[in-house]
Amino acid sequence: MNEVEKLKQEVLQAQQNSDIASLYVLEQRAHDTFDENTLQGFYMNILDIALERLTNTLEANRVMDMNEVQDFATLRALYEYAIEHYSAGKLHDASALFEVLSGLCNDKKFSSALKFHWIAAKEEISLDDFLSEIADVDATQNAGTFYISCFNTKAQKLLDNSKTDAE
């Protein structure tokens, strides 16, 4: 069995097991091995599993545990999906996803960070402006999180203004 067939078999096994974490482990090899169409399908499978896990989590009325590997991978996939929407200018969809994600996890830092994302998208701040004016991208890179987790002082003003508007 050649490398491509072996990788496809591993991906199929992970998909059949709804093992989103294993798919992320295989991600770099998929990038190095698959053509663009196959790679697109690979990411669609991750998203399908993540959306299924989201539905199951909501139906079970539970929160995801950032320390549990499948929940962590699911949150990552859903965050990446929300960022895709944000990047594509689908601000309403991105805002809704960020809102759901902010309440979906037991990790306070993740939930707090997602509130900034949610409000920025809701306030129709573009992703470029969010990254340049609200997020602290350098600090986030140093933090080693899969999500934008560090923000500058303008972020707190955004949050404060949002609370004022809601009152």
Summarize pLDDT for 51-77 with one digit per residue, the tens.
999 999 999 999 999 999 999 999 999
pLDDT on residue 164 = 53
pLDDT on residue 167 = 46
pLDDT on residue 117 = 96
- The answer to whether residues 78 and 54 touch, using CB atoms and an 8 Å cutoff, is yes
pLDDT on residue 48 = 96
Report CA 137 to chain centroid distance, whole Å.
16
pLDDT on residue 135 = 94
Tell me the helix, strand and coil percentages in the chain, rounded to 5: 75, 0, 20
Q: Which residue stretches of the chain have pLDDT < 70? A: 163-167
pLDDT on residue 156 = 80
- The answer to whether residues 127 and 87 touch, using CB atoms and an 8 Å cutoff, is yes
- Count of CA atoms in the C-beta half-sphere (13 A) of 141: 3
* CA–CA separation, 30 and 39 (whole Å): 7
CA distances from 107 to 30, 35, 118 (A): 30, 36, 16
pLDDT on residue 158 = 80
